[in-house]
Chains A and B, each alone.
Chain A
Amino acid sequence: MFHLRAPHRTGIVFFPAFDWAIDPTHPEREERLLYTRDQIFEEGLLDVEGIVEYPPVVATLEDVERVHTCFPTSTAQVSPSHLISAGGAIVAARKVLAGEVEKAFALVRPPGHHARRVVHGLRGFCIINIEAVMVEHLRRHVRDLRVAIVDTDCHHGDGTQDVYWHDPDTLFISIHQDGRTLYPGSGFPDEFGGPNAYGSTLNLPLPPGTTDEGLLHAIDHFVLPVLEDWKPDLVINSAGQDNHFTDPITDMAVTAQGYAELTRKLKPHLAVLEGGYSIQSALPYVNTGILLAMAGLDTSAVVEPEFRPGSLHQSERAREYTKRLCEIMFDRYRVRDQLRAKAFGGKTHWEERRHVPYDGAMISEAQHERVRVCEDCGGVVFLESEVSGRGKLLAIELPRRSCPACRAEGLAAYAAASPADYRLVELKDRPLDRVERKGPAAAR
């Protein structure tokens, strides 16, 4: 009596890191998940038959280095909190892949979706990309997987986009508040993936003020049709909760009901907490809604005390905009191969220069990226990075399934790179799961 049974066996890794903060007044501080814990414990959610709690593990530096090039070293950038957060995501995923649970929710902090391949410091509250560290761990230790990451955080998941920009086996979809109005200022429809993975990065910037209706329209009319076509082995939801109408640092109007419905529609194998800083008014309810929805339990009573029925309206203009955007984006997705041929046909290499700001570290990084246009693999990548005053680094990345030509070009470039020109030269030999480093910063 008095207890419920979950129709879908669901794992949860709950790691609130009550003893860690970026700094005492930062939104990413100790009590961020305090009220969420209270709600989850009081609901008895971890007591429900069919909801299984797992403790996180500590991810290894090898797990981190498989994804990131940390400057000067990973030990200098990564703290135990980051390793545990990533470790929590890894545990959640392994339990799903082992068949112990159908789905799992990594309710962990700190978040990670603003962390890019190269890490010079804190960006958007993130140091390492916990989803990417998890996915690459799985691909190495469990099996090669075709993965879709659907990022529903209110901020563009620019870090995850960067990590998977050249990976044709990872679909990255980000739905977020329009970058013209919010950090990090990116995530526009023309950000569509690198030359060898064109169309496997998809961005859907929604207008400020978007409600449940707009968000769910995007799921129904864009995300689900794309997933249906792309057929991933694993669907991961980067479950930021800052689209909530009470979030202090964003301008969206989504409710806990909206999040629950999103989860029901998306049916992710894994949800990983990202942002969300309305720690009293939103997180307890949104997290409860997501977990209940994953487990197949009734979410109809997950209604925030601050919610007033009829108070959140989608404007007609925003509705039309979102509808049109979904149509355009789905059309672009469908003809991605033609678009790719048009953009990159005949080129041997593609290159781009960009500046990457680190809001948390108050620095800016200049990047020069060059990738071999390749029909046979993700293409070897040469990524030069420099933060003024700190010296230059070169990261050479061989894709997981490198073709012989890309591999040869990458290895030759690594051999030729002179430590005199770089503080650090790093070779990510993904097929062999090996990282080689040279240069003054490489000595640890």
Chain B
Amino acid sequence: MRGIFVGIDVGGTHTDGVAIEGGRIVHKAKVPTREDLEGCTLEALAALFDGIPVADVRRVVLSTTLVTNAVVEGSLESTGVLVTAGPGMNPAGMPLGPRGRVVKGAMDHRGREVAPLDEAAVVEHLAACRGAGVKVLAVAGKFSVRNPTHERRIAELAQGFDYVATGHSVSGTLNFPRRVATAFLCAGVWRRHHAFVAAMGKALARFGVAAPLYLLRADGGTQLASSFRSPAETALSGPAASIMGVQAMDALAGETLSLDVGGTTTDTALFTQGVPLLEPLGATIGPHRTQIRALFTRSTGVGGDSHVRVEGGEIRVGPHRLGPPASLGGVHPTPTDALVLLGRALGDRGRAADALAPIALALEVSPEEGARRVLQALARDIGAAARGFLHEVNARPVYTIHELLEGHRVAPVRAVAVGGPARAIAPYLEHALNLPVTVPDHYDVANAIGAALARVNLEVNLVADTGRGFLSIPEADVYRPVTGRYSLEEARAEAGRTLLAVAEDKGVLETDAAVDIAEEESFRIVEGFATVGSVHRVRAQIRPGILGRVA
């Protein structure tokens, strides 16, 4: 871990940057986030590089809101969508958008071709897309992760398109609607992603930085910016950044709740034995439920800058931010103003008192007591969100008797809080959560630290069906014949080898990353009354993790 590791996180209010060397933060930068994403990233980089020897920079990791912005703004590129779907839910009912089409062709649950691909229909739709000026394409088939032949053939036929996203390449897990949505998002953000990566690459060159550019992913991992086949994977890297930052600053023994209290939202996550929990099905980005591997985090609409008022004798916090806090030049009262009034944060105390006066009046208490009640209300809402989050974690289904009977209910024994207001509201959080709350030293730049120190992580899903004689590892685009003797042991070893090979394509591992067999199962295939083969399934992963801790 020699050299300087740079991390930048573009947040909703601030863009933060840190430079870390030998486990110490050697420089920090904070600039306001503007609509111009490239502009504020460059500004943060400039501020950061101003204080460090750029020749020593080993890598630069950016956590951006590019994908989320594109979705929220509705500025996804016009994308042609081609799906194949076999027996089951009627694909005709699936809203595919104006450039979408279902073509004939189907695989069953074991990857056997049930209906051949209607190539004529594919060609026809491709021509229609070209005619309409569509340059990017999303292709997804039901059960394509068991047999990608149709998806691959469509991609081959799609000559002249700038980019073709194939569903099976993103994730080897089963979920056809999510596969379609994921391919669609990848295609829709592809051009923006490439423009951004190119601009950042040029900027780094201008700063004299030769180190490679990485982007943070939704699963808290990093990847070389130039190596993204599925650029939607950079979505939701903001919450992931702060979770990885917590990991870099706390030992996290046992079960620990992680809270990132921001300006307008608070994100909750959970660590078990130091490892953050992953979403079971994938990230949800705006209205799109995807298969993108992501950390399990839930956001609630309260934070330091949330609008505060009294309704029906009760203090309401958020979900809106109506400009900056009154004490920092705004008009409306916020929890930050309460902190300023109580002398726990910097700002114009007179303006804070003015803004909060109606609240104290409505509650018939002193201004100080009013401010305390505001912070209690903020902590109350965060506590309720945390309890909802834990309920959701504990309600996750299991499918074996062993897991159900041994089923462990998650019950964290402490919490770590980061984000701007974290230190000042920690006592209130302790009370609301009924848990000890730790606030690490660099709580205000946890997200940038997480970006700087995140390591490459990923998973691959191997399915070997010896009855049918095929093996697939969609994340590595592996699909090949396999003999009847192929065993679970071989599957486990191959999954591990493939995982490391794919990981190396994505960037420098920097440290020894342990291959973790997250799940495996093996069933005999019985047809009639004879065993005709086995299905071995292995999910191998490098867990989300960091390169090293920060002092």
Interface on A for B, CB 8 Å cutoff? Answer: 1-4, 14-20, 25, 30-31, 34-35, 37-39, 41-45, 47, 53-56, 58, 80-81, 84, 248, 279-280, 284-285, 288, 292, 297-305
Contact = CB atoms under 8 A, between A and B. Distances in A.
B404 A31 contact: no
Contacts of A18: 399-400, 521
Contact of B87 (A20, A35, A305): A305
Nearest to A307: B87
A30 B525 CA distance: 11
B109 interface: yes
A41 B88 contact: no
Nearest to A29: B526
Given A4-B93, A35-B109, A301 B87 contact: yes
Contacts of A285: 87-88
Contacts of A280: 109-110, 527
Interface residues of B, number: 53
Contacts of A20: 401
A2 B401 contact: no
Nearest to A299: B90
Contacts of A53: 397
A226 B523 CA distance: 44
Given A1-B181, A3-B289, A42-B109, A301 B89 contact: yes
Given A31-B523, A53-B397, A280-B110, A1 B95 contact: yes
B91 interface: yes
21 contacts: A1-B96, A3-B177, A3-B181, A4-B89, A4-B94, A15-B404, A18-B399, A19-B401, A20-B401, A31-B526, A34-B535, A39-B88, A39-B109, A42-B143, A44-B176, A55-B398, A56-B404, A285-B88, A288-B89, A298-B92, A298-B93
A47 B291 CA distance: 12
Interface in B468-507: none
B174 A38 contact: yes
Given A2-B289, A34-B523, 14 more contacts: A2-B177, A2-B180, A35-B110, A37-B399, A39-B88, A41-B175, A45-B89, A279-B526, A280-B110, A284-B109, A285-B87, A299-B90, A303-B87, A305-B86
A81 B401 contact: yes
Nearest to B407: A55
Counting from the closest, the 10 A-B pairs by CB-CB distance are A301-B90, A44-B177, A31-B523, A41-B174, A42-B174, A38-B109, A19-B400, A305-B114, A298-B90, A2-B181
Contacts of B142: 42-43
B348 interface: no
A80 B405 contact: yes
Query: DSSP majority for the B interface?
Result: loop
A347 B535 CA distance: 61
B97 interface: yes
Nearest to B87: A303
B160 interface: no
A14 B396 CA distance: 12
B309 to A, nearest CB: 32
Given A58-B405, A298-B93, A42 B175 contact: yes
B287, B398, B401: residue with the most chain A Cβ atoms closer than 10 Å: B401
A300 B89 CA distance: 8
Given A42-B109, A42-B142, A298-B89, A14 B397 contact: yes
B108 interface: yes
B178 interface: yes
